[in-house]
């Protein structure tokens, strides 16, 4: 292996070439950063004498305790030159390593480096590097993090245009999407076309789907942990892109070189400008746009203290002149303080704010004008410790408290003439208290494990004056409230407490392959009140409360992970079985918005999901990419639906295949293609009909749910990136991205249903609805200077 | 609701050439089920209860009627009438009158089983004083240029009123999916409601005669129509699972086969106007 020394800065507090005392244990610790811009390289793999391995935490900190003596240390990170060091260590040593990126253009598409491999860690995460996200074919020129994750095994979506993603049979609301630790409650722009995170501002994203360590919780299925870039602390630079529907601009630079930096990244669509140009007044009267703004500041206060301040603001606004206005947006803010107490104990304190709100106004008629607002606000305080007692043990522990405020809906008439009366649905609060402990143990050279426990308590709290009721009635019908009780402001209404054990084991079979197994129990206290195929920005979150019990899930998973040909390829096969409890659904015709008696419309049941996932990836070379295939089944059994029998859930897809290929054609030209195939999702179709007062009424004899499948889904996307020649002496570099989304020009079904026949409304016809009905070409220009 | 319709149209207009294609689906046929379609109103015309069987959902053939059934209608004033089958499958109500506040029980005996429906005649609120027109240009809410009907009326004090406005254009009933006009007083209780827009599929033109019939509905009947409305407008990415229309016909004996449909009782009042 080549030894890269350039660009590496070492701060060695002590570096003495003295004879070594064999018994003495010393600790090597520090931070690992990108030499170019000072970004923390989260997850950098540090190996000592090729045997002791550890990785950086989410702030780039590491700590390894080893016997004093001569050692060979290696730092490896995706897309970076591996740094190696041979030295004799006699005392605790601080090494802040700075890694250089691979300079060669061809190497830029190298997604992986040897040494980083999928069989190393006991907790299996699915990382997707932002550089590979940007190389995948975009929709309308916008690289999309969530859409890229859908190409990985076990991750899927209901269809084009559906918001969010589904992991191993879980709902969209069962994923915790974090942006710098702050939860995002609706993850899409323009209804569901783009995900809210601006890829230019994101440093890395990791998906926990197999195991969820105890330091994460609150959702059943997965955690998508997204971290914003910290900002370049070496020099100022600007990057941006001009696309067909949106433009992006990111500015970052040092506030004080090496010590502090700032990043501001914005993106705005000009869809409203486009619609205004239309000659069709149906379109030109309307405006629809989104923007998002991400910012982060980071201050290195001392060798032991770092402070991060980050914020995100995203908004969508849809307006039809004088008719209606709909806007929604997430806002988050996070302040984090890292402190290294000792070279073995790292702490982080985070104060997190998250706010999701929407408002909907109608002004088409003075008589029917109203404005309606709803939202959820979170305040979280979290303190996490990473403790590295010795080379075989790493412990993560901490506590988290959160206060959630729910504004389920206030609608008020606007103007004197409005016929509407004001509507106020009682608000609620909830407090969440969590303690967590994760312990990574290297039992032997072959066996390592991580066990953890998350203890959570959840308190449902009244806001102002909150009314709760019991509900009674036939199981399939809307139930009627009785036994109504009133709670006063801040009064505790209900407590729930749960223990959530987590366990994962890794058995190393040889240097390149391992078998892993895990058990995870997760509990979810926040529930998305939705009964539509895709979730919508208007769907409200509700807490576990007097009427709604927490959702729970148990998952067991096992897999075989292998690195082939010295890490050039990796392959994995996994099986999983997940059982879900207290799953929520709704009676037919339930009103999930502005409904005071929503608990009376809720149905409760269970679910199960199982499947097998295969993944094969070529990590290196001019041609790389991956194949993922998932064979799975996900079902629900809800009291009151489908005659109380199991039925396929709305996101059940038996087969799901994704092929991703990236090819570096010439040093400045790369092309990529993705192909997705999946079984059609289920649909409920009626068997019979009758005619009532001139209308055809559909009749589902037998009350089946999801008794049909829409046609299978195929999509091919293509893209090519042409980099401009960089002229000597000029700092600016640019690239053109040309892409074709849905290159097969297919009308993939999103759903199927029956509608009236236009000419004879008393008859019905079956219809296939496609969200994307044609090939969508796009051109984007990206620049950097 | 107009608002959601507008959002829907906007979504479609701006989405990526989203489209609906009529396709063939092989839908498994289930056994046919008895349907009851009946209503009792305060109108002086003859009123009927129809009995027939469901058809496969995509068939456009005629329905098989159910003959020789025994239908008994009674009210809470102990008036009883056995309905006469005036033509195959049509059972005529002759003597019992529809009066506000009375409770009616319809008993049905067929070879399929024994069934019953109970309904109390609800009061009619939001009785339209007048029907008026406003002239609108084509826009996101209005499908074409022309006249659109609005009504004015007093919503009676006291929550829990439901009604349906049935619109007739030159005496032809408008039965498109987006022409089901349902009304509830949940958010507007006790208000005088002016310029209440009725949903129609295409604009009226000069010389058209409009008749608006206001039908009072029980809550159950409102839900039944709301289900039909959901069934027929349940498209796009925010569709909900297909609901069955909630029936108010119940089995009396356990061995009775399945039944669906509705027996409704409504006060009806109509207004009409010729567009000059």
What are the beta bridge partners of residue B22? A767
pLDDT tens digits, one per residue of A247-287: 999 999 999 988 999 999 999 988 777 777 766 666 667 77
Q: What is residue A120's predicted lDDT score, i.e. its pLDDT?
A: 56
Minimum CA–CA partner of A741 in chain B: B16
Q: What is residue A107's predicted lDDT score, i.e. its pLDDT?
A: 39
Q: Which of A479-483, A507-511, B80-84 has the highest average model confidence (pLDDT)?
A: B80-84
Token digits for A176? 């915790």
Kindly list the domain boundaries of chain A, sorted by start residue: 25-103, 224-784
CA distance A166 to A177: 12
Q: What is residue A119's predicted lDDT score, i.e. its pLDDT?
A: 54
Say if CB B128 and CB B149 are below 8 A apart: no
Q: What is residue B17's predicted lDDT score, i.e. its pLDDT?
A: 63
**pLDDT class of A224 with cuts at 50, 70, 90:** very high
Of A281, A699, A750, the CB nearest to B139: A281
Q: Which residue has the higher pLDDT, A410 or A332?
A: A332
pLDDT tens digits, one per residue of A337-350: 999 999 899 999 99
Q: Is the pLDDT of residue A106 over 80?
A: no
CATH H-level, domain A224-784: superfamily: TonB-dependent receptor, beta-barrel domain (2.40.170.20)
Of A320, A423, A688, the CB nearest to B32: A688
DSSP string, A710-737: PPPEEEEEEEEEEEPPPPTT---EEEEE
Q: What is residue B164's predicted lDDT score, i.e. its pLDDT?
A: 95
Say if CB A171 and CB A651 are below 8 A apart: yes
- List phi, psi (to 5°) of A134: -75, -15
- Per cent of chain B over pLDDT 90 is 61
Q: Which CATH architecture has domain A25-103?
A: Sandwich (2.60)
Asked whether the beta carbons of residue B57 and residue A708 sit closer than 8 angstroms, the reply is no
Of B166, B228, B238, the CB nearest to A697: B228
Q: What is residue A18's predicted lDDT score, i.e. its pLDDT?
A: 38
**pLDDT class of A774 with cuts at 50, 70, 90:** confident
- Per cent of chain A over pLDDT 90 is 52
Cβ partners under 8 Å of residue B204, min gap 6:
B133, B146, B147, B148, B149, B169, B210, B275
Kindly list the domain boundaries of chain B, sorted by start residue: 34-121+245-266, 123-234+268-274
User: Residue A304 to residues A55, A57, A94, A228: CA-CA distances in angstroms?
Assistant: 19, 15, 11, 21
In this structure, what DSSP letter does residue A101 have? B
CB < 8 Å to A689, chain B: 54-57
How far A757 CA lies from chain B's nearest CA (Å)? 9
CA distance A251 to B253: 75
**Average pLDDT score, chain B:** 89
H-helix or E-strand spanning residue A696? strand A695-699
How far A182 CA lies from chain B's nearest CA (Å)? 27
Q: Which of A121-135, A273-287, A467-481 has the highest average model confidence (pLDDT)?
A: A467-481
CA distance A298 to A383: 18
**Average pLDDT score, chain A:** 87
Mean pLDDT within A398-407 = 95
Q: Which of B1, B40, B157, B241 to mutate to test the interface with A (most CBs of A within 10 A)?
A: B241
Q: What is residue A154's predicted lDDT score, i.e. its pLDDT?
A: 92
* SS3 track for A71-89: EEEEEECCCECCEEEEEEE
Per this entry, what is the length of chain B? 276
Lowest-confidence range among A66-70, A119-123, A638-642, B239-243? A119-123
**pLDDT class of A595 with cuts at 50, 70, 90:** confident
Q: What is the CATH T-level fold of the domain B34-121+245-266, as seen in this structure? A: Immunoglobulin-like (2.60.40)
Cβ partners under 8 Å of residue A178, min gap 6:
A184, A223, A224, A225, A226
Q: Is the pLDDT of residue A16 over 50?
A: no
Handedness of CA A121, A123, A129, A132 (dihedral sign): positive
Q: Is the pLDDT of residue A8 over 50?
A: no
Asked whether the beta carbons of residue A755 and residue B20 sit closer than 8 angstroms, the reply is yes
Task: Judge residue A358's burial from the number of C-beta atoms within 10 Å of its C-beta, 0-12 exposed, 13-18 middle, 19 or more buried.
Answer: buried
| Residue closest to B170 by CA, chosen among B35, B71, B272, B51 | B272
Q: Is the pLDDT of residue A104 over 50?
A: no
How far B263 CA lies from chain A's nearest CA (Å)? 11
Q: What is residue A454's predicted lDDT score, i.e. its pLDDT?
A: 97
Q: What is residue B213's predicted lDDT score, i.e. its pLDDT?
A: 94
CA distance A9 to A15: 14
Q: What is residue A759's predicted lDDT score, i.e. its pLDDT?
A: 87
The two beta strands, B47-53 and B90-93, are antiparallel
In this structure, what DSSP letter does residue B227 have? H
How far A540 CA lies from chain B's nearest CA (Å)? 14
Q: What is residue A542's predicted lDDT score, i.e. its pLDDT?
A: 92
Residue A30's Cβ-side half-sphere holds a number of Cα atoms within 13 Å equal to: 19
CA distance A130 to A780: 17
Lowest-confidence range among A755-764, B135-144, B180-189? B135-144
Handedness of CA B188, B193, B195, B196 (dihedral sign): positive
Q: Which residue has the higher pLDDT, A274 or A428?
A: A428
Q: Is the pLDDT of residue A607 over 70?
A: yes
Q: Does domain B123-234+268-274 have CATH number 1.10.3470?
A: no
Say if CB A102 and CB A110 are below 8 A apart: yes
* Ramachandran region, residue B266 (left: φ > 0; alpha: ψ -120 to 50; beta: rest): beta
pLDDT tens digits, one per residue of A147-187: 899 999 999 998 887 888 999 989 999 999 999 999 999 88
Q: Which of A337-351, B135-149, B182-196 has the highest average model confidence (pLDDT)?
A: A337-351
* SS3 track for B117-155: EEEECCCCCCEEEEEEEEEECCCCCCCCCEEEEEEEEEC
**pLDDT class of A720 with cuts at 50, 70, 90:** very high
pLDDT tens digits, one per residue of B87-127: 999 999 999 989 999 999 999 999 999 999 999 999 998 88
**pLDDT class of A368 with cuts at 50, 70, 90:** low
Asked whether the beta carbons of residue B240 and residue A532 sit closer than 8 angstroms, the reply is yes
pLDDT tens digits, one per residue of A491-548: 999 999 999 999 999 999 988 899 999 999 999 999 999 888 888 888 889 999 999 9
Mean pLDDT within B13-31 = 76
Cβ partners under 8 Å of residue B94, min gap 6:
B46, B81, B83, B84
DSSP string, A660-688: EEEEEEETTEEEEEEEEEEPPPEE---SE
Mean pLDDT within B166-180 = 93
Minimum CA–CA partner of A757 in chain B: B176
Q: Which of B167, B239, B248, B259 to mutate to test the interface with A (most CBs of A within 10 A)?
A: B239
**pLDDT class of A367 with cuts at 50, 70, 90:** low
* pTM reported for the whole predicted model: 0.89
Q: What is residue A283's predicted lDDT score, i.e. its pLDDT?
A: 65
Q: Rg of chain A's alpha carbons, rounded to an integer?
A: 27
Mean pLDDT within A88-114 = 66
CB < 8 Å to B237, chain A: 159, 161-162, 191-192, 532-534, 750-751, 771
The two beta strands, A393-413 and A370-390, are antiparallel
**pLDDT class of B157 with cuts at 50, 70, 90:** confident
**pLDDT class of A413 with cuts at 50, 70, 90:** confident
How many CB atoms neighbour CB A480 within 10 A?
12
| Residue closest to B117 by CA, chosen among B1, B35, B211 | B35
End-to-end alpha-carbon separation of chain A, Å? 33
Q: Which residue has the higher pLDDT, A514 or A111?
A: A514
Say if CB A609 and CB A633 are below 8 A apart: yes
Strands laid side by side in the A52-55 sheet: A52-55, A45-48, A69-76, A83-89
């Amino acid at each position: 292996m080549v030894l890269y020394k350039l660009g590496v800065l070492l701060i060695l507090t002590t570096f003495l070439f003295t004879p070594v005392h064999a018994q003495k244990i010393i600790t090597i610790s520090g931070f690992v950063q990108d030499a170019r811009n000072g970004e923390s390289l989260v997850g950098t793999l540090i190996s000592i004498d090729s045997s002791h391995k550890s990785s950086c935490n989410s702030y780039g900190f590491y700590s390894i305790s080893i016997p004093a003596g001569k050692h060979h240390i290696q730092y490896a990170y995706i897309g970076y030159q591996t740094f190696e060091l041979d030295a004799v260590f006699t005392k605790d040593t601080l090494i802040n390593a700075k890694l250089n990126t691979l300079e060669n253009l061809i190497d830029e598409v190298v997604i992986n480096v040897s040494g980083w491999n999928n069989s190393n860690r006991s907790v299996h995460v699915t990382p997707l590097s932002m550089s590979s996200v940007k190389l995948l074919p975009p929709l309308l020129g916008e690289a999309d993090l969530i859409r890229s994750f859908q190409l990985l095994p076990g991750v899927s979506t209901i269809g084009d245009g559906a918001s969010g993603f589904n992991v191993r049979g879980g709902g969209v609301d069962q994923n915790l999407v974090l942006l710098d630790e702050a939860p995002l409650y609706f993850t899409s722009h323009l209804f569901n076309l783009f995900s809210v995170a601006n890829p230019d501002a994101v440093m890395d994203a990791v998906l926990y789907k197999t195991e969820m360590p105890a330091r994460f919780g609150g959702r059943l299925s997965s955690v998508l942990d997204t971290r914003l870039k910290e900002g370049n602390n070496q020099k100022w630079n600007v990057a941006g892109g001009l696309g067909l529907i949106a433009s992006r601009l990111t500015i970052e630079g040092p506030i004080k070189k090496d010590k502090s930096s700032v990043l501001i990244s914005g993106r705005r669509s000009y869809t409203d400008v486009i619609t205004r140009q239309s000659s069709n007044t149906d379109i030109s009267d309307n405006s629809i746009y989104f923007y998002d703004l991400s910012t982060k500041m980071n201050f290195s206060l001392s060798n032991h203290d770092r402070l991060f301040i980050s914020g995100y603001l995203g908004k969508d606004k849809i307006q039809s002149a004088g008719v209606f206005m709909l806007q929604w947006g997430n806002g988050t803010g996070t302040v984090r303080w890292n402190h290294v107490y000792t070279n073995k104990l790292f702490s982080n304190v985070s104060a997190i704010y998250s706010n999701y709100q929407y408002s909907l106004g109608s002004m088409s008629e003075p008589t029917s004008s109203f404005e309606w607002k709803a939202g959820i606000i979170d305040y979280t305080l979290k303190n996490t410790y990473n403790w590295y007692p010795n080379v075989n043990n790493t412990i993560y522990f901490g506590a988290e408290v959160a206060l959630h405020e729910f504004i389920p809906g206030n609608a008020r008439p606007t103007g004197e003439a409005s016929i509407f009366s004001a509507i106020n649905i009682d608000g609620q609060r909830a407090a969440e208290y969590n303690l967590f402990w994760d312990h990574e143990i290297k039992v032997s050279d072959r066996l390592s494990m991580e066990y953890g426990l998350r203890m959570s308590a959840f308190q449902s709290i009244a806001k102002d004056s909150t009314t709760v009721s019991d509900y009674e009635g036939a199981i399939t019908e809307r139930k009627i409230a009785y036994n109504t009780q009133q709670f006063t402001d801040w009064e505790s209404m209900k407590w729930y407490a749960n223990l959530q054990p987590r366990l994962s084991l890794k058995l190393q079979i040889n240097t390149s392959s391992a078998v892993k197994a895990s058990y995870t129990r997760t509990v979810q206290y926040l529930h998305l009140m939705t009964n539509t195929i895709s979730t919508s920005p208007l769907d409200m979150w509700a807490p576990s409360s007097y009427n709604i019990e927490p959702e729970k899930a148990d998952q067991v998973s096992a897999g075989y992970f292998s690195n082939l040909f010295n890490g050039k390829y990796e392959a994995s096969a996994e099986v999983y079985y997940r059982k879900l409890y207290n799953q929520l659904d709704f009676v037919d015709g339930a009103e999930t918005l502005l409904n005071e008696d929503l608990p009376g419309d809720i149905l409760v049941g269970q679910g199960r999901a199982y499947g097998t996932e295969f993944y094969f990836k070529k990590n290196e070379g001019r041609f790389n990419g991956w194949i993922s295939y998932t064979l799975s089944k996900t079902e629900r059994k809800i009291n009151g639906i489908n005659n109380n029998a199991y039925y396929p859930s709305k996101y059940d897809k038996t087969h799901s295949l994704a092929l991703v290929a990236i090819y570096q054609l010439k040093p400045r030209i790369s092309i990529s293609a993705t192909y997705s195939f999946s079984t059609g999702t289920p649909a409920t179709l009626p068997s019979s009909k009758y005619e009532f007062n001139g209308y055809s009424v559909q009749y589902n004899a037998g009350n089946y749910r999801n008794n049909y499948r829409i046609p299978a889904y195929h999509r091919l996307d293509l893209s090519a990136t042409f980099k401009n020649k960089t002229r000597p002496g000029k700092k600016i570099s640019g690239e053109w991205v040309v892409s074709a989304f849905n290159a097969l020009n297919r009308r993939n079904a999103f759903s199927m249903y029956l509608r009236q026949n236009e000419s004879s409304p008393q008859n019905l016809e079956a219809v296939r609805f496609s969200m994307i009905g044609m090939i969508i070409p796009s051109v984007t220009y990206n620049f950097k200077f | 609701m107009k608002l959601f319709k507008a959002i829907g149209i906007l979504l479609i207009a701006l989405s990526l050439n989203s489209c609906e294609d009529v396709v063939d689906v092989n839908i498994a046929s289930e056994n046919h089920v008895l349907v009851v379609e009946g209503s009792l109103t305060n109108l002086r015309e003859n009123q009927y209860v129809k009995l027939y069987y469901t058809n496969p959902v995509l068939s456009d053939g005629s329905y098989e009627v159910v003959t020789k059934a025994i239908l008994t209608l009674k009210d809470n004033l102990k008036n009883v009438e056995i309905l006469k089958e005036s033509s195959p499958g049509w059972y005529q109500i002759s003597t019992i009158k529809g009066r506000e506040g009375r409770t009616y029980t319809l008993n049905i005996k067929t070879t399929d089983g024994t069934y019953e429906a109970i309904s109390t005649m609800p009061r009619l609120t939001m009785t339209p004083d007048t029907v008026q027109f406003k002239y609108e240009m084509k826009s996101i809410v209005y499908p074409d240029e022309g006249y659109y009907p609005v009504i004015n009326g007093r919503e009676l004090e006291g929550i829990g009123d439901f009604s349906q406005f049935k619109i007739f254009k030159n005496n032809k009933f408008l039965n498109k999916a987006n022409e089901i006009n349902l009304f509830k007083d949940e958010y507007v209780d006790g208000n005088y409601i002016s310029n209440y827009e009725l949903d129609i599929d295409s604009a009226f033109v000069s010389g058209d005669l409009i008749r608006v019939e206001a039908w009072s509905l029980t809550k159950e009947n409102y839900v039944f129509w709301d289900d039909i409305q959901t069934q027929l407008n349940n498209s796009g990415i925010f569709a909900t699972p297909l609901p069955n229309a909630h029936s108010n016909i119940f089995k009396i004996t356990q061995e009775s086969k399945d039944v669906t449909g509705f027996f409704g009782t409504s006060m009806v009042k109509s207004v009409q106007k010729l567009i000059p």
